[in-house]
Amino acid sequence: MTYDYLISRSGIIGRQILRLCRFINEKDEYKFERPKGIRGFFIRQRWLRSILGVRVVNRILTAFYTYYVGGSLTRSDQLTFAKLHGMKDNAHRLTLFNALFCGTPSALCYFLLGEGFHLLSGIHSYAELPSLLAKHTSLGIGLVSISVDMFRAVDSALNHKCWAPFGFMPIAINLPTYLKRIFQRKSSKLAGDKHSRQVKPQMADTCTLRR
C-alpha cells in the first residue's frame, strides 16, 4: 500500500497531520562545502553558536509533534505516522511516550482541577452545587484518562501495540477519521447487499431456464 492510500484513509485532520509528517521527513537537506583551515574553524564555531538555540528549539518541537500529536492519532494512523517518520519497527513508542509524558500529566491536571472546584465550593453557598458537579466531572474524566493511559503504556511496552488516547484533543483529531470509516463500512455493506439482491434474480432466472 502506498503512502497516499494510507493517508487517504484518515479524516480531514488526520490527513493534514500525516501530510505534514511526510513533508517534514521528505524535505531535501541542503549540502554545502565547508571551508577548511583556520578560517574554516572559526566560521564553523560561529555557525554552530548561531544555530545552537535553533537546534534545541527544533528538537523540542520535533519531539512534541512526534509523540504528542503523532501519539494522539488512531492506531492505524500511528502506524502510518511511524512509517513516514522512519519508526516503522517502533510505532508502539508513539503510544508509550504519549501515555507516559502527555496523557498521565493531563490526567493529573484533571485531578488538580477537581480539587480547585472543591475549594471553590466552600466560598459561597450559591457556588457549592455547580462546583461540586464540576469537581466530580473533572475527577471522573481524570480517572478514566489515567486508567486508559496506564493500559496504553503497559500494553505498548509489552505487546508493542498502538492505541489512541482518551481526551478532548484526541477525540477532536480522530472523530473525522472514525466517522469516515463508519460511513465507508456502511456504504460497503449497502453495496454488498445491493449486489447480492441483483445476483439472486439472475440465479433464479438461470435455474428456470435449465428446468
Q: For the segment 113-142, what is each residue's pLDDT rounded down to a tens digit?
A: 988 888 887 777 777 888 889 889 999 999
Residue 28 has pLDDT above 60, yes or no: no
Three-state SS at 29: coil
pLDDT, tens digit (0-9, with 9 covering 90-100), for 66-98: 999 999 999 999 999 999 988 988 999 999 999
CA distance 6 to 179: 16
Residue 108 has pLDDT above 80, yes or no: yes
- List the domain boundaries for the chain: 1-26+35-90, 91-163
- Predicted local confidence at residue 25, as pLDDT: 78
Whole-model pTM over 0.95 = no
Confidence of residue 202 (pLDDT cuts 50, 70, 90): low
Between 173 and 208, residue with greater pLDDT: 173
The answer to whether residues 35 and 43 touch, using CB atoms and an 8 Å cutoff, is yes
> Judging by beta carbons within 10 Å of its beta carbon (0-12, 13-18, 19+), is residue 116 exposed, middle or buried?
middle
- Average confidence score pLDDT of the chain: 82
- Predicted local confidence at residue 32, as pLDDT: 45
Place of cell 574554516: 40
Closest to 130 (Cα-Cα) out of 117, 144, 141 = 117
